[in-house]
Structure 1
C-alpha cells in the first residue's frame, strides 16, 4: 500500500486542465480498478468506483473530488511566434511574469517562459505593478507562428504550470495542481481501505473523481444523477490563512487538521454556495471527537464547490464539504501539510464505515 504522498507526487506530475483530464482519468480508473468492482467512466470523464454493502435498498454516500487543474489556453499566436493566453479557471495571473509554463501541443509538451519587461528598462510607474492578462505572452523559443505550429502548438492548445514537486520540512509539500490532486490521492487511498471492509458496510459507498470543477463547477452532475446519493461529501482545498497577508481572515491553518465547511460561496454573491446539512455536519464532528481527530471550522467567501448544485437535485441531497488547508492556492506553489491530508483520510474512513442502516440525514420526515 502506497503512502498518500506517493500518489500525490504521481498525480501532480500529470497535466490535466478542465476538459483535458485524460491522464488523470486513466490514473484514477487504473487505481480504482485495483480495489473496486464495476469502475466506470462516463462520457465527460467522471470516474465512479462503487463499494456495495450488499444490502437491498441500502442508502448511498458519495465522496468526490475533482481531477482538473487550473491553467490556460492559447488564444492568439503573433507573427513572431509569441503566444497570448486566456485563463482556464481562476489562475492567479499575478505570479506569471518570468515563470515557466508547459504548452500541451499536438506533438508533446512544449516548455515556455512568460515574458517580462527587462528590469533595467522598467519605468517608475511600472515597478511593483502587474501586466493585464491580455498583455501577457509566452515565449516558446521560436521565430514565427508557422514554427510554433510545426511544434504542434495551435490556438486552443492548453497550458499548465510546470510540474515541480517539492517535499519540504515538517511534512509540507509544494507543487502545482495540489488543487485538487490531493483529493484524488485521498480517494485512491480510501478505495484501498474500503476494499478490505466492503462486506461490513451498511451503506453503499461511491468514490467519484470528477471533471471540470475549475471551469464550471458542474462536471460531477452526470455522476450524481447516475448514483442518486442520499449523502454527498465534497473534498477540495481551501485557503490556509496562516501566512502574513491573510492573518486574521480566518483560523484555518496548516497542521491543525481538515477544515469542515460551515459556509462557502462565490465571492460575487451568495447565489452559489454551500450551507451543510446540520445532521451530516454533526456526524462528521462526532467522528472527529470519537477518534481524537483535530478539525477546523471553515467560513470561506470566495470559494465555490460542486455541492452548491448537488444539494438541489430533484430529490434533495444532504451535503457537506471537507477541505484540506492549502497555502498559495491557484499558483504553481500550492502547499499542504501531509499531517492534515492523513487526518482527512481518517475522518472519511471512520465516518463511512460507522454508518448504520438506521441513520438519517437531511430534514425529510
Structure 2
C-alpha cells in the first residue's frame, strides 16, 4: 500500500503518470505553445479549480495562469512558474535533392542524427491551420562509407550546418515534391519520443522533460492546494509561461502584468554526479533519485529558501541544494528581468541527458518537488495571519551577516 503521508517515497500512480505523459507529449515548440498550455493544462486546471478561481490567458503568447483570487491586488501574491515552450528545430531551406536543411537550436548536432521527428507546417492556403508530417529522421552524414577518417574516429564532430531532415523523397523533381507539401522555411520540427517508464525503479525517459515537468509540478501543486481547502489568505498564481528557451521573455511579461510578491520558478536541473567528463569541475553533488533541488546564490531570496527548506524538513521531503552563480538560468529570474520587486527562488528536479531525445528523471524527485511547492504555499498561507504580515516580514527580515555567531571547532572529545 502506498505511503499516503510520503507519496514522494512511492512509485507515481499510473493516472498521475499519464497526466505527466500528456503534458510532456503536447507539441509546443517556442511560439506555438498552445497545445500544452491551452490543450492539456488549462482543461486540467478547470477540472479541479474551486469556485472563484479563474484561468487567465494572454494576447502575445499562449501562456496561462490559474489565479486563486483574480483581481485582488491587495493580497500577498505568490507566482509558481513552469514553462511550456520546447526547444525545436526549424526548416532553413530545401535542396534540389529533396533534403530539408534545418537548424539545431539548443541541441547538440550529434545527438540528433537518426532520430525520428515530426514536422509541423502551416498550410500556405489556410494561414493558421497546421499539418503534421511524421516519419522523417534527422541526418547529416549519410552512410559511414562516405565519412572521412576523422569523422569515423570521432576526432571531428558534426557541424550544425550539416543537419537535414530526411523524408525519403525519390523520383523526379524532389524539391518540387517537398514544396508541393507546403513545407516552408521556419516550419517547426520536434523530436518524436513520448516519455515512458524506465528500467531503473521509478524512472522515466523521453524527450522534452525540459520543461513540461515544471508545468506538471505547477499544475499538481495547484490541485493539492485546491483539494486541501484552497488559498485562504494569499493569492496564488499557478503560471504556465512561454519563451523561456529564448531568454525567459514570457515569464517576465507575466511578472510585469501581475507583479507578484514572491516567485518560485520550477525547472529541470542536472544530475551532476552522472554527467560524463565534468568530475574535475567539482559541481554540486546533485543526483537523480535523491530529491528535488533548491537554488542558492544569484538573486534567490534566502527568506523564501528558508521557508521552503523548513517545509521540506518538517515533511521529510528529500532536498538537494544547487549552487547557482550570476543567474539561476530559470524563470526564477522573472521578477528581476521584469523590474518587479519580489522574493524569488528556483526549485527543480535532476535530469540526465538534458536537451536530448533521451532525457531521464526519477518520478520520486518530481513528486518531492510537487509536494514541497504545495507545502510552501500552504505554509505561506498560514503565515499570513492578517493582511500585510508577509510583506512586512519579507521587507524587514533580510538575513544580516553582521549578526553571524562565531563558530569554533568542537574539538575531538568523545561523547
TM > 0.5 fold call: yes
**1:85 counterpart (84, 94, 102):** 102
Write the distance in 2 (CA, Å) between the matches of 1:48 and 1:2. Answer: 26
Structure-2 change in CA distance of 1:53 and 1:136 (3 Å): closer
CA contact 1:39–1:50 (8 Å) conserved in 2: yes
**Rg larger in 1 or in 2?**
2
**1:104 counterpart (98, 116, 120):** 120
Q: Which residue of 1 aligns with 2:10?
A: none
Write the distance in 2 (CA, Å) between the matches of 1:199 and 1:53. Answer: 14
Q: Which residue of 2 aligns with 1:270?
A: none
Structure-2 change in CA distance of 1:364 and 1:80 (3 Å): farther
CA contact 1:12–1:178 (8 Å) conserved in 2: yes
Kindly indicate whether residue 244 of structure 2 is the aligned counterpart of residue 217 of structure 1. Answer: no
Q: Tell me the alpha carbon deviations over residues 13-60 of structure 1, each in whole angstroms, 9 at most, x when there is no partner.
A: 221111011211221111112223321210111101011399882201
Q: Tell me the alpha carbon deviations over residues 120-176 of structure 1, each in whole angstroms, 9 at most, x when there is no partner.
A: 333221221321111111111224222112233211110011123221130111010
Write the distance in 2 (CA, Å) between the matches of 1:199 and 1:217. Answer: 29
Query: Which shifted more, 122-131 or 232-241?
Result: 122-131
Kindly indicate whether residue 159 of structure 2 is the aligned counterpart of residue 159 of structure 1. Answer: no
Q: Tell me the alpha carbon deviations over residues 327-354 of structure 1, each in whole angstroms, 9 at most, x when there is no partner.
A: 1000011111001001111101111011
**How far did 1:311 drift?**
2.5
Write the distance in 1 (CA, Å) between the matches of 2:20 and 2:194. Answer: 12
TM-score by length of 1: 0.90
Structure-2 change in CA distance of 1:253 and 1:83 (3 Å): same
Q: Which residue of 1 aligns with 2:19?
A: 7
**How far did 1:306 drift?**
2.5
Uncovered stretches (5+) of structure 2, i.e. residues with no partner: 1-12, 123-130, 398-415
Kindly indicate whether residue 64 of structure 2 is the aligned counterpart of residue 76 of structure 1. Answer: no
**How far did 1:181 drift?**
0.9
TM-score by length of 2: 0.80
Structure-2 change in CA distance of 1:311 and 1:3 (3 Å): farther
**How far did 1:83 drift?**
1.0
Q: Which residue of 2 aligns with 1:280?
A: 304
Kindly indicate whether residue 68 of structure 2 is the aligned counterpart of residue 51 of structure 1. Answer: yes
Q: Which residue of 1 aligns with 2:37?
A: 25
Q: Tell me the alpha carbon deviations over residues 182-204 of structure 1, each in whole angstroms, 9 at most, x when there is no partner.
A: 11222221222222234553211
Write the distance in 1 (CA, Å) between the matches of 2:340 and 2:330. Answer: 20
CA contact 1:238–1:325 (8 Å) conserved in 2: yes
Write the distance in 2 (CA, Å) between the matches of 1:93 and 1:239. Answer: 20
Structure-2 change in CA distance of 1:145 and 1:198 (3 Å): farther
Write the distance in 2 (CA, Å) between the matches of 1:121 and 1:54. Answer: 63
CA contact 2:214–2:348 (8 Å) conserved in 1: no
Aligned-residue Cα RMSD (Å) equals 2.3
Write the distance in 1 (CA, Å) between the matches of 2:133 and 2:338. Answer: 40
Write the distance in 1 (CA, Å) between the matches of 2:257 and 2:71. Answer: 18
Alignment of 1:288-307 (within 5 A): 288-300=312-324, 304-307=329-332
Q: Tell me the alpha carbon deviations over residues 249-307 of structure 1, each in whole angstroms, 9 at most, x when there is no partner.
A: 321110110110114xxxxxxxxxx4311111111111111111110011246861223
**2:175 counterpart (139, 145, 149):** 145
Structure-2 change in CA distance of 1:54 and 1:152 (3 Å): closer
Kindly indicate whether residue 153 of structure 2 is the aligned counterpart of residue 122 of structure 1. Answer: no
CA contact 1:260–1:295 (8 Å) conserved in 2: yes
Uncovered stretches (5+) of structure 1, i.e. residues with no partner: 264-273
**1:344 counterpart (360, 369, 372):** 369
Q: Which residue of 1 aligns with 2:409?
A: none
Structure-2 change in CA distance of 1:54 and 1:222 (3 Å): closer
Structure-2 change in CA distance of 1:215 and 1:111 (3 Å): farther
Q: Tell me the alpha carbon deviations over residues 206-263 of structure 1, each in whole angstroms, 9 at most, x when there is no partner.
A: 1000111112211112221222100000000011113251445321110110110114
CA contact 1:77–1:145 (8 Å) conserved in 2: yes
